[in-house]
């Protein structure tokens, strides 16, 4: 029988325990075989594996490169995401990796975020559902995960020091909610603490984040590992709840000294070591049998994932699909057709096992009907660009259809810096103009990790397929989608704004002088655009198909402090396809300001032509709740909520009303509650009226809310009001509050 953790810990010296809570090298922990402690090995992901020996970005062992989160997230398909996770887990075990450093589920606060390609959505429900599916997939085969970057790591500018200044409600509803879901639903083996500070404290030494919220409230029982280099104070990190500082040894002496001098309780160190021992057990490959990944099979899965990840933004006059048969000539223009952009730059860069290009895939199917011109250079060489433009124009003029492959070159976005603009590079915008002068039959395929602006050029083209970054099999998937062998079914997980100045964080991104203020609060993404009615190019949740879907027969029913929503979706077109139905909740009565509507559920439905399916989505109280700062909890204010079912945040097809009961901690009156609030509470009203009756002259008080005087009085806090009354005894407010609390407790 394996020795208990306590036995193992008792066999380790203080120095060994300190050493275990830091890396032994760049990617793994120390081993103490005599004490029964094995090494734990980590590797980046998250959309494939990057097994390297040092900090280097290149030189990794080949692994299947699945679509990064910006792509796979757009599939809105948790089963697919789970399957990709399992494949990544199998490859991890085969490469000797215990913990895959992903998924990354930070909110896309601004389209400028340099690492948006590695993140899922502007919405926490979509991010959390993706994260949970991916974690469950990886862990289903026995490998571990690291959900990152906890928390509020929404920019690359000054990422290792900047303090995100965020109010608690915004934190809870937007920036923590995705992590909460993953922790509660998928029990990730590790969570990675971010580089940045949150309200002044480093995330990697933040007791409230790492202990109060993550462990005590959400029940996280795994290891908290630092982002690489995020620990600035070893002792403070351990105390706050961080278990493993990565990478490299360092700070061990400091930890030993702190224990010896009584500044760090040894039990804190033992607890971290215990969690690491548990992690070694949970990820022990020998318990899970041999994992033999088949590169061909995984490439096929990468292709399925890519097919579901692309989003058809626009398709005027059914410009797509292109005719697979016949003799029409197809001009493929754009360097990305030949040199695909299929993943982002930085620590997540995978060396793929193979790489499909759209040009090869199209040529394989269409043969010499395909002509190619690169159209532009990736590095913006002006002279060469002019030559390529003329060549592309000539090719377009002689073709029946043009497919333009545009997007962001590798140099435009990466981990480590944010973007400063959302336009396509100038040479590509010039190319659109030149090609549009030659023909109207232009279809654009985009390859980009961060959103690009489409408003200034989309009028020149008939269709746009947003390919994001699609991983190593993206080339094949794009060809199949363009030719109708596959039907697009991805939907936007982030809004495409008309222009950068319209974006909610515009005035507050990326901050300055070590601080970034989250001034837009909970109004992130569509929550902002839809509340203010700001025009957008393509709304959150949007995505077209080669078929059509009809929504009908909505039934909404209250279920205490939750509800159930049912509706029917039918494929009314001619080809098989899939629709992502979305449920939004809107709230006109609660006691706080709220976005016009918020996504509370979704379902992807696959339907043959003519087929239909009844969908039921159960909504718990969280779908209706807001985080009450005053009441310190999730609160549902009883009343009627509206539930909307639609194909995007701006394409609502069905609407119903539902009564939901109250839930959450009670609202307690204090000396700062207004006279109006005291009078609105039955217990408070009785006590206050009783107290006022003792005071001479108060009977003439006008407390009628229909008069200006009454409104003024009713708005005054109890303590202040009693201070205005000469006859009120000292401490009257405190006495009232005490009497109120006693009466409420006795209820
Ligand atoms: C990144 C992490 C990554 C780690 C290890 C950091 O710079 O922020 O996402 O897992 O490096 O490469």
- The 10s digit of each residue's pLDDT in 495-506 is 999 999 999 999
Give the atom of ligand 1 at the shortest distance from the alpha carbon of 159. Answer: 8
Instruction: Look at residue 119 in the predicted model and tell me its pLDDT.
Output: 98
Report the separation in Å between the CA atom of 226 and the middle of ligand 1, taken as the mean of its atom positions. Answer: 9
Ligand 1 atom, smallest distance to 101 CA: 10
Domain contains 354: yes
**118 and 48 together in one domain:** yes
User: Residue 369 C-alpha to ligand 1 middle, in angstroms?
Assistant: 45
Same domain, 391 and 517: yes
Summarised one tens digit per residue, pLDDT across range 573-602 is 999 999 999 999 999 999 899 999 999 999
9/6 Cα distance (integer angstroms): 5
| pLDDT of amino acid 428 | 98
| Domain of residue 693, residue span | 675-746
pLDDT above 80: residue 288: no
* Ligand 1 centre distance from Cα of residue 147 (Å): 12
Q: Which residues pair with 333 in a beta bridge?
A: 373, 404
If one counts the domains in the chain, the total is 4
DSSP for 74-127, written as a single string: GG--HHHHHHHHHHHHHHHHHTT-SEEE--B-----STT-TTGGGS--SSHHHH
Ligand 1 binding pocket mutation candidate from 347, 349, 416 (most atoms within 8 A of CB): 347
Report the candidate in 135, 116, 136, 217 with the shortest Cα–Cα distance to residue 176: 217
Is the pLDDT reported for residue 56 higher than 70? Answer: no
Q: Would you place residue 291 in the very low, low, confident or very high pLDDT band (cuts 50, 70, 90)?
A: low
Conformational region of residue 677, where left means phi above 0, alpha means psi within -120 to 50, and beta covers everything else: alpha
Say which DSSP state 726 is in. Answer: T
Cα(501) to ligand 1 centroid in Å equals: 30
Q: If pLDDT is split at 50, 70 and 90, which confidence band does 57 have? A: low
Question: Across the beta sheet with 639-648, what order do the strands follow?
Answer: 598-607, 577-587, 639-648, 651-660
Residue 329 lies in a domain: yes
Q: Please name the residue whose Cα sits nearest to atom 11 of ligand 1.
A: 228
The ligand 1 atom nearest the CA atom of 347: 12
Q: What is the CATH number of the domain that holds 89?
A: 3.20.20.300
Q: Which helix (H) or strand (E) holds 463?
A: strand 463-466
Closest CA to 284 of 101, 38, 27, 7: 38
Nearest CA to ligand 1 atom 7: 228
pLDDT band of residue 362 (cuts 50, 70, 90) is very high
CB-CB contact of 455 with 278 (8 Å) = no
Nearest atom of ligand 1 to the alpha carbon of 45: 10
For residue 54, the number of C-alpha atoms closer than 13 Å in the C-beta half-sphere is 3
Band of pLDDT at residue 289, cut at 50, 70 and 90: low
Mutate which of 26, 44, 51, 119 to test ligand 1's pocket (most atoms within 8 Å of Cβ)?
Answer: 44
Residues 532 and 565 in one domain: no
Lowest mean pLDDT: which of 113-127, 146-160, 401-415, 713-727? 713-727
* E-assigned strand segments in 572-687: 577-587, 598-607, 612-619, 626-628, 633-635, 639-648, 651-660
Give the Å distance between the CA of 405 and the centre of ligand 1. 30
Mean of the pLDDT values across residues 718-723?
Answer: 91
For residue 246, the cross-strand partners are: none
Q: Are residues 440 and 532 in the same domain?
A: yes
- Among 53, 60, 101, say which to mutate for ligand 1: greatest number of ligand atoms within 8 Å of CB: 101
Which uninterrupted H or E stretch holds 564?
strand 562-571
How many residues are recorded in the chain?
A: 747
* Inside any domain, residue 668: no
Count Cβ neighbours within 10 Å for each residue of 404-421 and write b for 16 or more, e otherwise.
Answer: bbbbbbeebbbbebbbee
CA-nearest residue for atom 8, ligand 1, is 227
What CATH number did the domain enclosing 526 receive?
3.40.50.1700
What pTM, to 2 d.p., does this model score? Answer: 0.96
Please state, in angstroms and rounded to a whole number, the distance separating the CA atoms of residues 672 and 231.
41
Please state the separation of Cα 455 from the chain's center in Å: 25
Listed in sequence order, the residues at least 6 apart from 132 whose beta carbon sits closer than 8 Å to its beta carbon are 78, 181, 182, 185, 186
Residue 666, domain member (yes or no) = no
Respond yes or no: is residue 233 known to be catalytic: no
150 in Cβ contact with 208 (< 8 Å): no
CA 383 to ligand 1 centroid distance, Å: 38
The confidence band for 284, taking pLDDT boundaries of 50, 70 and 90, is confident
pLDDT at 520 over 90: yes
Q: How confident is the model at residue 726 (pLDDT cuts 50, 70, 90)?
A: confident
**Among the listed ranges 311-315, 395-399, 687-691, which one has the minimum average pLDDT value?**
687-691
Strand partners, 581: 603
**Mean pLDDT value of segment 26-40:** 96
pLDDT in tens, 624-669: 999 999 999 999 999 999 999 999 999 999 999 999 999 999 888 9
pLDDT, tens only, 88-147: 999 999 999 999 999 999 999 999 999 999 999 999 999 999 999 999 999 999 999 999
- Out of 52, 228, 229, mutate this one to test ligand 1's pocket (max ligand atoms within 8 Å of CB): namely 228
Q: Which pLDDT score, from 0 to 100, does residue 170 have?
A: 98
Whether 350 is covered by a domain: the verdict is yes
Looking at the fold, whether 332 and 471 belong to one and the same domain comes out as yes
Partners of residue 497 on adjacent β-strands: 536
Ligand 1 pocket mutation, candidates 88, 99, 227, 344, criterion most atoms within 8 A of CB: 227
In this prediction, residue 333 has a pLDDT band, given cuts at 50, 70 and 90, of: very high
Same domain for 189 and 311? no
pLDDT in tens, 146-203: 999 999 999 999 999 999 999 999 999 999 999 999 999 999 999 999 999 999 999 9
The SS3 call for residue 581 is: strand
pLDDT exceeds 90 at position 342: yes
Q: Quick one: which atom of ligand 1 is closest to the CA of 102?
A: 10
Maximal C-alpha separation, the chain: 99
152 shares a domain with 23: yes
> 692 and 652: one domain?
no
Of 228, 254, 288, the one marking the end of a domain is: 288
CA 210, CA 230: separation in Å to the nearest integer?
14
User: CA distances (Å), 264 to each of 14, 193, 207, 224, 257, in order?
Assistant: 12, 21, 14, 18, 9
Torsion of CA 53, 54, 55, 61, to 10 degrees: -20
Pick the atom of ligand 1 nearest to 416's CA.
7
The residue assigned the tokens 């909307």 is 644
- CATH number, domain of 609, equals 2.60.40.10
Q: How close is the Cα of 228 to the center of ligand 1, in Å?
A: 6
pLDDT band at residue 292, thresholds of 50, 70 and 90?
confident
In this structure, are 457 and 487 located in the same domain?
A: yes
Residue 55, pLDDT score: 67
**Cβ–Cβ < 8 Å for 547, 487:** yes
Residues 53, 59: Cα–Cα separation, whole Å: 9
Residue 295 within any structural domain of the chain: no
Q: How far apart are CA 452 and CA 460, in angstroms?
A: 16
Is 689 inside a domain boundary?
Answer: yes
The minimum-distance atom of ligand 1 relative to the CA of 148 is 9
Q: C-alpha distances in angstroms, 265 versus 15, 220, 224, 260?
A: 14, 22, 18, 9
In whole angstroms, give the CA distance from residue 133 to residue 85: 8
Report the C-alpha gap between 635 and 204 in whole angstroms: 29
Ligand 1 atom having least distance to the Cα of 55: 12
Contacts of residue 642, Cβ cutoff 8 Å, sequence gap at least 6:
585, 586, 587, 588, 597, 655, 656, 657, 658
How many Å lie between the centroid of ligand 1 and the Cα of residue 476? Answer: 30
Q: What lines the ligand 1 site, CB under 6 Å?
A: 44, 101, 148, 227-228, 347
- Cα angle for residues 688, 692, 698 (degrees, 5° grid): 140
**Whose C-alpha lies nearest to ligand 1, atom 4?**
228
pLDDT digits (tens, 9 = 90+) for 233-266: 999 999 999 999 999 999 999 999 999 999 999 9
Token pair for 555: 């039934």
| The pLDDT value given to residue 701 | 72
Using the mean position of ligand 1's atoms as its centre, give its distance from the Cα of residue 52 in Å. 13
Same domain (yes/no): 76, 104 = yes
Strand order in the sheet with 401-407: 311-315, 463-466, 442-447, 401-407, 330-333, 370-373
Domain edge (last residue) among 660, 692, 718: 660
Question: Do 164 and 516 meet the contact criterion of CB atoms below 8 Å apart?
Answer: yes
Atom of ligand 1 nearest to the CA of 44: 10
Residue nearest to atom 6 of ligand 1 (CA): 228
Cα 508 from Cα 164, distance rounded (Å) = 11
Taking each helix axis from N to C terminus, what angle separates 382-397 and 426-438, rounded to the nearest 10 degrees?
20
The reply to whether 520 and 429 lie within a common domain is yes
Distance 614 CA to ligand 1 centre (A): 43
Q: Ligand 1 atom 3: the closest Cα is on which residue?
A: 347
Q: How many CB atoms are located within 10 Å of the residue 609 CB?
A: 14
Enclosing H/E stretch for 18: helix 14-20
Secondary element (H or E) of residue 559: strand 549-559
| Distance in Å, CA 241 to ligand 1 centroid | 20
Q: What is the average pLDDT score of the chain?
A: 96
Q: Supply the residue whose CA is at minimum distance from atom 2 of ligand 1.
A: 227
Same domain as 701, residue 655 = no
Ligand 1 mean position, distance from CA 46 (Å) = 10
* Whether 529 contacts 497, CB under 8 Å: yes
User: To the nearest whole percent, how much of the chain has pLDDT over 70?
Assistant: 99
Nearest CA to ligand 1 atom 5: 228
In the set 227, 243, 418, 637, the catalytic residue is 227
Q: How many CB atoms lie within 10 A of CB 677?
A: 18
Nearest CA to ligand 1 atom 12: 347
For residue 59, pLDDT beyond 80: no
**CB neighbours (10 Å) of residue 216?**
11
Would you tell me how many other CB atoms lie within 10 Å of the CB of residue 510? 21
| Residue 250 vs residues 46, 244, 557: alpha-carbon distances, Å | 26, 11, 58
> Average pLDDT in the 723-737 region?
89
Among the candidates 602, 628, 660, a domain finishes at: 660
Asked whether residue 330 is domain-assigned, the answer is yes
Instruction: Pick the closest to residue 225 from 211, 205, 245, 207 (CA basis).
Output: 245
């Amino acid at each position: 029988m394996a020795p208990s953790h306590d036995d193992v810990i008792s066999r380790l010296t203080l120095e060994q325990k300190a050493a275990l809570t830091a890396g032994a090298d760049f990617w793994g922990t120390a081993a103490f075989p005599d004490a029964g402690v094995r090494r734990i090995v980590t590797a980046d992901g998250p959309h494939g594996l990057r097994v390297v020996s040092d900090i280097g970005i290149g030189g990794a062992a080949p692994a299947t490169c699945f679509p990064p989160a910006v792509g796979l997230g757009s599939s809105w398909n948790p089963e697919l995401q789970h399957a990709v996770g399992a494949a990544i887990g199998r490859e991890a075990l085969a490469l000797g990796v215990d913990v895959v450093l992903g998924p990354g589920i930070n909110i896309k606060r601004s389209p400028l975020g340099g690492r948006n390609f590695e993140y899922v959505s502007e919405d926490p429900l979509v991010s959390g559902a993706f994260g949970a599916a991916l974690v469950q997939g990886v862990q289903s085969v026995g490998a571990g995960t690291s959900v990152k970057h906890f928390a509020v790591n929404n920019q690359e500018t000054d990422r290792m020091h900047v303090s995100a200044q965020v109010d608690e409600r915004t934190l809870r509803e937007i920036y923590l909610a995705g992590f909460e879901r993953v922790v509660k639903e998928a029990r990730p083996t590790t969570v990675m603490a971010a580089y940045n500070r949150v309200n002044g404290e480093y995330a990697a030494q933040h007791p409230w984040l790492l202990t109060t919220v993550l462990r005590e409230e959400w029940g996280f029982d795994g290891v908290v590992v630092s982002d690489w280099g995020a620990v600035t104070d070893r002792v403070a990190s351990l105390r706050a709840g961080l278990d493993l500082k990565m990478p490299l040894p360092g700070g061990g002496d400091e930890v030993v000294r702190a224990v010896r001098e009584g500044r760090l309780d040894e039990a804190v160190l033992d607890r971290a070591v215990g969690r690491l021992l548990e992690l070694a057990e949970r990820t022990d490959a020998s318990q899970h049998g041999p994992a033999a990944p088949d590169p061909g099979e995984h490439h096929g899965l990468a292709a399925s994932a890519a097919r579901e990840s692309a989003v058809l933004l626009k398709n005027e006059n059914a410009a797509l699909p292109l005719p697979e048969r016949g003799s029409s000539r197809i001009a493929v223009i754009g360097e990305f057709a030949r040199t695909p952009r299929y993943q982002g730059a930085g620590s997540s860069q995978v060396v793929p096992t193979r790489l499909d290009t759209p040009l090869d895939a199209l040529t394989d199917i269409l043969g010499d009907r395909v002509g190619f011109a690169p159209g532009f250079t990736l590095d913006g060489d002006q002279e060469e660009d002019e030559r390529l433009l003329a060549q592309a124009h000539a090719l377009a003029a002689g073709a029946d259809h043009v497919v333009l492959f545009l997007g962001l070159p590798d140099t435009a976005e990466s981990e480590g810096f944010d973007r400063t603009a959302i336009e396509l590079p100038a040479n590509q915008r010039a190319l659109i103009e030149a090609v549009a002068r030659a023909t109207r039959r232009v279809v654009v395929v985009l390859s980009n990790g961060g959103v690009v602006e489409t408003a200034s050029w989309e009028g020149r083209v008939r269709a746009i397929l947003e390919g994001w970054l699609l991983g190593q099999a993206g080339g094949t998937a794009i060809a199949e989608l363009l030719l109708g062998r596959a039907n697009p079914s991805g939907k936007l997980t982030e809004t495409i704004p008309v222009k950068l100045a319209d974006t909610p964080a515009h005035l507050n991104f990326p901050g300055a002088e070590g601080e970034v203020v989250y001034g837009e609060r909970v109004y992130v993404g569509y929550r902002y655009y839809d509340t203010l009615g700001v025009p957008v190019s393509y709304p959150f949740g949007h995505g077209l198909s080669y078929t059509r879907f009809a929504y009908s027969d909505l039934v909404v029913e209250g279920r205490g402090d939750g509800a159930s929503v049912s509706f029917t979706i039918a494929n009314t077109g001619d080809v098989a396809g899939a629709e992502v139905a979305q449920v939004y909740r809107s709230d006109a009565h609660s006691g706080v300001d709220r976005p016009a509507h918020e996504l509370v559920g979704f379902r992807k439905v696959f339907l043959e032509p003519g087929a239909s399916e009844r969908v039921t989505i159960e909504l718990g109280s969280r779908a209706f709740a807001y985080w009450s700062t005053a009441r310190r909890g999730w609160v549902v204010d009883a009343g009627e909520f509206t539930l909307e079912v639609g194909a995007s945040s701006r394409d609502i097809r069905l609407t119903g009303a539902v009564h939901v009961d109250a839930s959450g901690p009670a609202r307690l009156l204090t000396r700062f509650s207004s006279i109006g609030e005291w009078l609105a509470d039955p217990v408070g009203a009785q006590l206050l009226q009783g107290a006022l009756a003792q005071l001479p002259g108060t009977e003439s008080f006008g407390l009628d809310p229909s008069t200006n005087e009454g409104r003024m009085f009713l708005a005054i806090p109890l303590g202040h009001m009693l201070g205005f009354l000469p006859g009120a005894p000292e401490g009257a407010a405190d006495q009232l509050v005490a009497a109120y609390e006693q009466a409420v407790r006795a209820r």
